Amino acid sequence: MAKKIITFGEIMLRLAPKGYYRIVQADSFLASYGGGEANVAVSLANYGMDAGFVTKLPGHEIGQSAVNALRQFGVDTSNIVRGGERLGIYFLEKGASQRASKVIYDRAGSSIAEAKEGDFDWERIFEGADWFHFTGITPAISKNLADICLKACKAAKEKGVTISCDLNYRNKLWSKEQANQVMGELCRYVDVCISNEEDAYDVFGIKSEGTEVTAGELNKEGYREVAKKLTERFGFQKVAVTLRTSISANDNNWAAMLYQDGSCYFSREYPIHIVDRVGGGDSFGGGLIYACLNDYQPQDTIEFAVAASCLKHSIEGDFNQVSVDEVIKLAKGDASGRVVR
């Protein structure tokens, strides 16, 4: 029977001009739906897991469209609460070459931001669940949501559900001080932490003290140090650190490291020609959770997670629409992109 995963957070309407058009040039917007935790749920549903997404959505057609977008991929939406006024929106302008992608958030006053504790019955939601995932964006959205996250973590913990969290610091939503306090509280319940070097520093002030080493070496050692400190502070079972190098808006290098039982496992690094970069981190989270739930070895775990997110960069929209077979094929080394007939 498929493992059951619950993710909780905000799903937004994503509006993006076609191709590389700027927002001021747009006379139409491609409409899709996405958000950190929803993206993880879709990844896992695509891998055949029993993934459920929990949120609050307005009762109207825009809210319904978000539900439909999730149902389409087999995500369980039965725990989504309907009510409130609006669905958060984000406008995405895809960058090219030296011109950066740009995101305009229009998420204030969304149904989930104004959700109340009583909206979610965590006891029932976690019935039979194996894993709970959320990101640092959710508690940042509103005070209520921070409280609800805490309640969810406690309920999950009591039921023996593994908890993962992607730190995902967003400075437009809260200050570093707020993040430190709230995330510090929440991370006490977290088993698997996902971060990049910046998030660890922004949220917890954790960085490497590395000195006088050659660049490449320094970084590897630095990442280990960050992961070690995070682990020491919160007692994480695993810490995964994603490593992105942005060459241009079109080209990024992408790799990651898994820190587990005091050891570091570095993945291959992929030079990526980007189709759509949004949701790249979430697809990493989805791959990581899948590998963990399927008891992959640490090196296989990090390779699967990175290959999954590498593929995501080639796919339009927030959602990572790939199969386990496709991820494994890449993780095992076939990155040639040869036609499959």
Please, are residues 131 and 293 in contact by the beta-carbon 8 Å criterion? yes
Name the residue nearer to a second copy (CB basis): 157 or 244: 244
Name the residue nearer to a second copy (CB basis): 40 or 306: 306
Name the residue nearer to a second copy (CB basis): 22 or 143: 22
Minimum distance of a second copy from residue 223's CB (angstroms): 19
Q: Of the candidates 190, 255, 261, which has an alpha carbon nearest to the alpha carbon of residue 227?
A: 261
Task: Determine the Cα angle at 126 with ends 123 and 131, to 5°.
Answer: 150
Minimum distance of a second copy from residue 26's CB (angstroms): 6
How many other C-beta atoms are found inside a 10 Å radius of the C-beta of residue 331? 24
Please, are residues 82 and 60 in contact by the beta-carbon 8 Å criterion? no
Name the residue nearer to a second copy (CB basis): 162 or 168: 168
First to last CA, the chain: 32
How many other C-beta atoms are found inside a 10 Å radius of the C-beta of residue 175? 11
Name the residue nearer to a second copy (CB basis): 3 or 229: 3
Minimum distance of a second copy from residue 166's CB (angstroms): 15
How many other C-beta atoms are found inside a 10 Å radius of the C-beta of residue 120? 21
Minimum distance of a second copy from residue 79's CB (angstroms): 14
Minimum distance of a second copy from residue 17's CB (angstroms): 9
Minimum distance of a second copy from residue 261's CB (angstroms): 30
Q: Using CA atoms, how far apart are residues 32 and 13, in angstroms rounded to an integer? A: 6
Task: Determine the Cα angle at 42 with ends 47 and 167, to 5°.
Answer: 110
Name the residue nearer to a second copy (CB basis): 99 or 228: 99
